[in-house]
Amino acid sequence: MVQGKFLIPGLWDMHVHTLIKGLPESYFPMFISNGVTGVRDMAADLGLLKQLRKDINEAKMRGPRLIASN
């Protein structure tokens, strides 16, 4: 048994603006590194989100699970 360590479930950021923040390639890996495994985008182009999801699922890009609110 490992002692002195803990595990938490993946965190979610429920208010993200994918296109406004800059390039997803630069900040998506930071989400993962900080335990954020899912984000809800509040106003992105659905076509872009579908492409980003595809790239993440095919391991072309490192990033969180993407959910669209619109």
How many structural domains does the chain have? 1
Distance CA 3, CA 25 (A): 35
pLDDT for the residue numbered 22: 67
Domain membership flag for residue 3: no
- Amino acid occupying residue 8: I
pLDDT for the residue numbered 23: 77
Closest alpha carbon to 35 in 64, 15, 67 = 64
Tokens of 4: 């002195």
Give the residue numbers spanning the domain of 17.
Answer: 11-68
Tokens of 19: 């296109």
Closest alpha carbon to 66 in 31, 39, 44 = 39
Residue 32 zone, left/alpha/beta (φ > 0; ψ -120 to 50; rest): alpha
pLDDT for the residue numbered 2: 81
pLDDT for the residue numbered 66: 93
Q: Show pLDDT as tens, one digit a residue, over the chain (70 residues).
A: 788 888 889 999 999 887 766 678 888 999 999 999 999 998 878 888 899 999 999 999 999 999 987 6
Which CATH number covers residue 33?
A: 3.30.110.90
